[in-house]
Amino acid sequence: MTHKDGIAYAQKLDREDALAHLRCEFHFPEQSNGKKDLYLLGNSLGLQPVKTESCIQEELKKWQEGAIRGYFEGSHPWLAFQERLAQPMADLVGALSKEVVVMNTLTANLHFMMASFYKPTTSRFKILIEEHAFPSDHFAVESQIKQHGLCVENSLIKVSPRSGEDLLRMEDIEASIAEHGNEIALILLPGVQYYTGQVLDMRAITQLGHQHGCTVGFDLAHAVGNIELELHQWGVDFACWCTYKYLNAGPGSIGACFVHETHTSNPSIHRLAGWWGHNKDTRFEMGSQFDPMLTAQGWQVSCPPILAMAPIVASLELFERAGGMSVLRQKSRELSSYMMYLIKERLLGKVEVITPENPEERGCQLSLKMLTTDGKQLFDELQRNGVICDWRYPGVIRVAAVPLYNSFEDVYLFIDTLERLLRKNDQ
Ligand SMILES: *Cc1c(COP(=O)(O)O)cnc(C)c1O
């Protein structure tokens, strides 16, 4: 698609956008002067859906008026709340509903999953991660290695971009798995890399890992609600994600896990157990013999926090109303391609996009390096001008145009502001 410059063209794209009406389903934050922010940070904290408040109110009301009855009565009893979320959540990640459970938070879930799926033996004990993994993932993995009494230095394999490059090359991941495959117990990689926005080929990595006898898990923090996923079909062993980024469920909102059917159906997998993972039919008989549910819910330990789960109802409903991930992904490709176009048109030589050029290898996020000025300073100026994006050390500004609530005009206004600030800095 060939684009044109100018705000009138951006507004034309918005008029033709079949998803444009969803923008008014969200609250947009304001600056102190009352002007709406230009919000391009759905990759970090998604905006609040208008309906979130009433979803929480509804559960508060059930608690006020019925207390314990809330578990059993009404249209959505709390005992079945997990089931209410499982199918729409599974749709987002390409899973069977029994393969998905909403619980805990992302890093906690990484630990829970590694308790089951990192089982080092004397010959196969290594974990393959990326050198620039999100710190929390890195810490979690190192602490799991230590938990087994192993030495981190001997047990961690890190893939990294080649020197002078920003992106991971699939051939380097392949080479590392080929070289160390028979020692690798677990491959744990992101679906979308948080710093560069690069999408990894999860299907190929899973296949390759399995060929070498490795377990393969993914951190989908930046992938869920952003790109299309087929976790079941790809044969991924497990995955974890949070719901406060592209899923718009609020700060620190509850996370979720995928466990492949081949594992959920195996009652003998070791897990950190609790009463809410126990067979529902006999849970309240209070026996002391653990009988896990043969679904991903078998990994739940506690009774679910209903008030924390209520925002996810509002969130998932919007993904359904949009028509699902393939529809959203189409608009997302158009938004990011349009931003790429404007950067080339207006900011050539001043801004480098380190995110892959190929639309299939990137999601909503573009990571921008400033070539002619201090990036952090420019980021601060963007903030002062009402543009909400973020700065990540060592040197990128991350922006995401999110198909649920961002417009083509948002993209235009962002580039226009960036160009104006850069021109001012050059003088
Ligand atoms: C956002 C993010 C986290 C955050 O973890 P929490 O446990 O939710 O605080 C972890 N890993 C990655 C890759 C992330 O993008």
Query: What would the DSSP string read from start to end of 256-322?
Result: EEEE-HHHHT-TTS-----GGGB-TTTGGG--SS--B-SSGGGG--S---HHHHHHHHHHHHHHHHH
pLDDT of residue 270: 94
Compute the distance from residue 221 Cα to the ligand 1 centre, in Å: 6
162 plus 150 within the same structural domain: yes
- Burial (CB < 10 A; 0-12, 13-18, 19+), residue 336, is buried
pLDDT of residue 1: 67
Whether 134 lines ligand 1, by a CB cut-off of 6 Å, is yes
Residue 42 is assigned to a structural domain of this protein: no
- Along the chain (427 residues), what's the average pLDDT of each consecutive run of 10 residues? 91 98 96 91 98 97 96 93 96 98 98 98 98 96 98 97 97 97 97 98 98 98 98 98 98 98 96 94 88 96 96 98 98 97 96 96 97 94 95 94 98 97 85
298 plus 341 within the same structural domain: no
108 plus 219 within the same structural domain: yes
- Alpha-carbon distance 98 to 22, whole Å? 29
229 plus 216 within the same structural domain: yes
Q: Which helix (H) or strand (E) holds 7?
A: helix 7-15
329 plus 412 within the same structural domain: yes
- Structure pTM? 0.97
Residue 2 is assigned to a structural domain of this protein: no
Provide the residue range defining the domain that includes 375.
Answer: 7-36+323-422
274 plus 253 within the same structural domain: yes
What is the residue type of 126? K
pLDDT of residue 252: 96
Instruction: Report residue 385 as tokens.
Output: 């001008």
**Closest ligand 1 atom to the C-alpha of 221?**
15
Whether 361 lines ligand 1, by a CB cut-off of 6 Å, is no
Taking phi over 0 as left and psi of -120 to 50 as alpha, with beta for the rest, 386 belongs to: left
Nearest-CA neighbor of 418 among 360, 370, 356, 349?
370
Whether 120 lines ligand 1, by a CB cut-off of 6 Å, is no
107 plus 172 within the same structural domain: yes
Compute the distance from residue 425 Cα to the ligand 1 centre, in Å: 34
- Alpha-carbon distance 298 to 279, whole Å? 8
Whether 390 lines ligand 1, by a CB cut-off of 6 Å, is no
Whether 106 lines ligand 1, by a CB cut-off of 6 Å, is yes
Compute the distance from residue 284 Cα to the ligand 1 centre, in Å: 34
pLDDT of residue 50: 98
- Burial (CB < 10 A; 0-12, 13-18, 19+), residue 261, is middle
267 plus 366 within the same structural domain: no
Residue 46 is assigned to a structural domain of this protein: no
pLDDT of residue 33: 87
Whether 253 lines ligand 1, by a CB cut-off of 6 Å, is no
User: Are the C-beta atoms of 356 and 161 separated by less than 8 Å?
Assistant: no
Nearest-CA neighbor of 399 among 355, 342, 341?
355
CATH of the domain at 29: 3.90.1150.10
266 plus 202 within the same structural domain: yes
Nearest-CA neighbor of 422 among 350, 367, 357?
350
Residue 50 is assigned to a structural domain of this protein: no
Nearest CA to ligand 1 atom 2: 221
User: Are the C-beta atoms of 368 and 340 separated by less than 8 Å?
Assistant: no
170 plus 277 within the same structural domain: yes
Q: Candidates 102, 137, 248: which one to mutate for ligand 1, based on the most atoms within 8 Å of Cβ?
A: 137
Compute the distance from residue 106 Cα to the ligand 1 centre, in Å: 6
Compute the distance from residue 84 Cα to the ligand 1 centre, in Å: 25
Compute the distance from residue 107 Cα to the ligand 1 centre, in Å: 6
Strand partners, 76: none
**Closest ligand 1 atom to the C-alpha of 44?**
1
Residue 43 is assigned to a structural domain of this protein: no
Give the residue carrying structure tokens 């290594």: 126
pLDDT of residue 375: 93
**Closest ligand 1 atom to the C-alpha of 107?**
7
Per-position DSSP letters for 193-211, written without gaps between them: -TTT-BBP-HHHHHHHHHH
Out of 320, 346, 371, pick the residue that ends a domain: 320
pLDDT of residue 284: 86
Whether 107 lines ligand 1, by a CB cut-off of 6 Å, is yes
Residue 45 is assigned to a structural domain of this protein: no
pLDDT of residue 161: 97
101 plus 199 within the same structural domain: yes
CATH of the domain at 249: 3.40.640.10
Out of 295, 320, 345, pick the residue that ends a domain: 320
Nearest CA to ligand 1 atom 13: 134
Q: Candidates 41, 43, 106: which one to mutate for ligand 1, based on the most atoms within 8 Å of Cβ?
A: 106
Compute the distance from residue 132 Cα to the ligand 1 centre, in Å: 13
pLDDT of residue 87: 96
Strand partners, 198: 362
Number of domains in the chain: 2
Out of 320, 338, 364, pick the residue that ends a domain: 320
Residue 309 is assigned to a structural domain of this protein: yes
pLDDT of residue 209: 98
- Alpha-carbon distance 187 to 27, whole Å? 39
289 plus 177 within the same structural domain: yes
